[in-house]
Chain A
Amino acid sequence: MITFMNNSDSEEEPCNERTSLMSAESPPVPSYQDGLQASEAGEPQAHRKRRTGSSRSPNNIADGDMSDSRVPVRESALENEEEELTLKYGAKHVIMLFVPVTLCMIVVVATIKSVRFYTEKNGQLIYTPFSEDTPSVGQRLLNSVLNTIIMISVIVVMTVFLVLLYKYRCYKFIHGWLILSSLMLLFLFTYIYLGEVLKTYNVAMDYPTLFLVIWNFGAVGMICIHWKGPLQLQQAYLIMISALMALVFIKYLPEWSAWVILGAISIYDLMAVLCPKGPLRMLVETAQERNEPIFPALIYSSAMIWTVGMAKPDTAARGQSQQMRDEAEDGRENHRSPSHAESQMSETRSPVPTHPTTSFEELQEEERGVKLGLGDFIFYSVLVGKAAATASGDWNTTLACFVAILIGLCLTLLLLAVFKKALPALPISITFGLIFYFSTDNIVRPFMDTLASHQLYI
């Protein structure tokens, strides 16, 4: 088992830089400058402004504008509307992210509970060389801490490597790497997974059928993730590869190491996204500066137009999409224009038609999605899966962790709506999840078991 894991180098990298959460392009803050003029035209839809890249500057400019012209009432009304919209869209984003995270966790928990393979110990990854079979507690703890250090340093090195590649525009290398890793995930891991599921349910399948199924699954997955495809299919594939990756982790990480790694990686995520020199932050900022989307294979987006879904950060594609919008739009305010947004915005003044053509409505709506890194999916699922696997077969613990993670995600999204920049999604959720896991497993479980054995209800 360890030999085939050697070429899991390429799978390790998916989990590195996928641990950030950010709102798509820019926050739904109206540009006050245009918002004011549009509200002159009595248009509430002025708030649907999108800016890329230079998202900080409109706010600064807007403040300057506000000070001279407007009636304070109008200003406060706009602010209130903006807040309300932020809250509303915040709630909508929360729902949009809850469903995939829940789905991923359900898949992982269902697999863990039914397929024995993923709970058997069959060796360890080379990234966690220290075994946990030692007799003494102190030794075991030490080994798990050492395993964690090794794993985290591997992740850090790979993230930094990726960021460097991105900075120096070695796109082909990155794409090749991503393609290789998703190939491995989609074909090899799916094959193993399918094999184990079939074994568990004692269903016979001949090799030609298996080949056909896996080939189709993998090929469509590659196309969907790296090229164009229906949004929901792409989301489904991303959920599935996160679940597969999480299952691999659950199987191959020894127990204590898994918990310590979860804790350490949330700390790492916090630092990597918030510190000025953190690799993930640099990645996000570089992507925003260049007005390019981060690679679709790394990020789950709750809503993405297909032009953005292209793996190549192709300015030609962007220009083409812009052109499409320019010519078909009759003075719509909502542009996804690059940084010279203000000058262009000030030209388009006419009110937004109430029933735009459906494709552009989709464009408008879909750009407002929230993006969550795939690493977050993976680690949430690892936590819940580990809870399901090792909590003495107790569903209460699994449920408690599930609720805790979702509440953490909710809080993170709230903070995102408040701060409006990329935030780490892991720390809060994982902290809650860990607290609830340990406390539920050790404290609540005996209580509930005793109550249930006497059939008492509280």
Chain B
Amino acid sequence: VPLLRRAFFWLVSLLLASLIWFVSVHLSDRENARLQYGLLVFGAAVSVLLQEAFRFAYFKLLKKADEGLATISEDGRSPISLRQMAYVSGLSFGIISGVFSVINILADSIGPGVVGIHGDSPYYFITSAFLTMALVLLHTFWGVIFFDACERRRYWCLALVVASHLLTSGLTFLNPRYEASLLPIFLITLCTGLWAFSTAGGSFRSVRKCLSCKR
């Protein structure tokens, strides 16, 4: 259920972002391809910012609900920890964003056709798959870091998350040149993952302990 609420929030943010883009497209000159591209960039940037804003709003909502649950429950603690909520929220954000990005491509991929027949890259599908996976993971990690940063009021962390989101989205603009976009994005994913892991309290020692199955 929290997964769904989160997805809903993302959808609303997407809606608002597309609304802004749509309005701007209609108000502008259709013929100018560069302008259209610029508008697309603008739209994407706005959408990223809105997503982060909605993530923040969701954090506030969850805090309130958490406090409410804590007062109700018998031992004064809430049944779900904030970390879990952060994880779930990031995951659902990621899932819905990934699904929205990829499902049309998937649906087209079972149909008849040749990839890249008009001169685009023939690796379209596989790179889309990788990018979507990276994006889902990234959203999960960003969720964890974001919530933790809000909790501890480390605003530089927040700014870094937003900046990395913008950076990732910007990197996808370089897209037919896959070396330039795919590799950096994976590097970012890895780094963010490690950061999120350490934020959530893990460390090298705990990984070792887990792997060697010590009690």
Contact = CB atoms under 8 A, between A and B. Distances in A.
If over half of A's interface residues share one DSSP class (helix, strand or loop), that class is named, otherwise mixed; here it is helix
Given A80-B74, A406-B4, A455-B172, 11 more contacts: A407-B4, A436-B11, A443-B18, A446-B18, A446-B22, A447-B17, A451-B101, A452-B104, A456-B40, A458-B47, A458-B51
Interface of B: 1, 4-5, 7-8, 11, 14-15, 17-19, 21-22, 25, 40, 43-44, 47-48, 51, 69, 72-74, 96-97, 99-101, 103-105, 107, 124, 127-128, 131-132, 135, 168-169, 172-173, 175-176
A188 interface: no
A403 B40 contact: no
Contacts of A145: none
Given A83-B72, A444-B15, A457 B169 contact: yes
Contacts of A94: 1
A220 interface: no
B40 A450 contact: yes
Interface of A: 80-81, 83-84, 87, 91, 94-95, 98, 393-396, 399-400, 403-404, 406-407, 410, 436, 439-440, 443-444, 446-452, 454-458
B5 A396 contact: no
A439 B124 contact: no
B169 A447 contact: no
A439 B4 contact: no
Contacts of B5: 407, 410
A404 B8 CA distance: 7
Nearest to B134: A457
Nearest to A446: B22
Contacts of A410: 1, 4-5
A457 B15 contact: no
Name the residue in A395, A396, A404, A458 with the highest tally of chain B Cβ atoms < 10 Å from its Cβ: A458
B15 A396 contact: no
A439 B40 CA distance: 19
Contacts of A87: 69, 72
Contacts of A393: 107
B17 A456 contact: no
Contacts of A454: 40, 173, 175
A446 B72 CA distance: 46
A395 B103 contact: yes
Nearest to B1: A94
